[in-house]
Every structure is written in structure tokens, then in C-alpha cells.
């Protein structure tokens, strides 16, 4: 694994819709300042935003760890939430367990996990019902797919 140039962990509070998106915006700012290709920034920010929203919507708390190496951008998300009963179903576009209240706020279209997977060069998800979910997503700096 390549040497880490930057590692930053962000705490996310479940239910805090007022601050939702701040972590993704901070990651975008850092990557822009470092001169990372805009397509790669877009992919990383989509991953970060969707993951952040999932924590806000479904978990009591979570973290997003942002790691930059000379080869890749890694995002590691861990939450304390209900967990996901059927991961394959949750990865299906359009599948959502969002409440009516979340939908009224404009969320819950069932694209979060599919968008994370689609924008990742490497993706893994693990979940334990009643405990929480961990997501690993990586964007290679030599790719712009």
C-alpha cells in the first residue's frame, strides 16, 4: 500500500441534516487545493456525500476517514446504525428504506449505495444488523472512468 500523504477522520452525527454535506464539501476543498483532476474529485465527492447522507439518515453516529496517497483516494465509512439486512438489495438502484419525512426533505431515492459503488474503483461493504455498517471505497488517481 502506498504511503499516506493525508489522513483525516470526520465525525458524523446521525439526524443532523443541518450539517449534512459539510464533510463532502471539505474533502472537495482539500482535493481542489491539491490540484487533483476534477473528474476524480467529482467521483470522490459523490462517494463522500452519499456515505455522509446515509450516516445522517440511518445511524446514530459514524465516521468518514479520508485518506490520500500518491496512488489513490480512499474513503472508509463506519457507522453505528441498524445495519443492512440484505446488502445486495440495498445495492439495487431505487431500493430505499427512507422514511416519508426523509423523502419530503428530498432524500431517499435509493441511489446512495449504487452511486458509491459506481464511482469507486474498489468497493466493499460489510454490515451487521443491530450494530452498523462499514464501507470502503477507493478512487485510483490514474483513472478517470
Provide, rounded to the nearest whole percent, the portion of the chain with pLDDT above 70.
97
Domain membership flag for residue 145: no
Range of the domain at 118: 4-140
Averaged pLDDT, 72-94: 96
**CATH number of domain containing 17:** 3.30.565.10
- Residue 2 confidence (pLDDT): 80
134 confidence band (pLDDT: 50, 70, 90)? very high
Q: pLDDT by residue (tens digit) across 43-72?
A: 999 999 999 999 999 999 999 999 999 999
Q: DSSP character for 9?
A: E
- CA separation for the pair 82, 3 (Å, rounded): 34
Number of domains in the chain: 1
| Global confidence as pTM | 0.93
Amino acid at each position: 500500500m502506498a504511503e499516506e500523504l493525508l489522513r483525516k477522520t470526520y465525525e458524523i452525527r446521525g439526524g443532523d441534516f443541518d450539517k449534512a454535506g459539510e464533510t463532502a464539501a471539505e474533502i472537495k476543498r482539500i482535493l481542489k487545493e491539491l490540484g487533483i483532476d476534477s473528474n476524480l474529485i467529482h467521483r470522490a465527492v459523490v462517494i463522500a456525500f452519499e456515505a455522509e447522507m446515509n450516516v445522517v439518515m440511518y445511524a446514530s453516529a459514524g465516521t468518514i476517514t479520508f485518506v490520500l496517497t500518491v496512488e489513490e483516494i480512499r474513503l472508509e465509512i463506519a457507522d453505528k446504525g441498524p445495519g443492512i439486512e440484505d446488502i445486495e438489495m440495498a445495492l439495487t438502484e431505487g431500493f430505499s428504506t427512507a422514511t416519508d419525512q426523509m423523502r419530503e426533505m428530498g432524500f431517499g431515492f435509493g441511489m446512495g449505495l449504487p452511486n458509491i459503488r459506481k464511482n469507486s474503483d474498489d468497493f466493499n461493504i460489510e454490515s451487521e444488523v443491530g450494530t452498523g455498517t462499514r464501507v470502503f471505497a477507493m478512487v485510483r488517481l490514474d483513472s478517470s472512468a
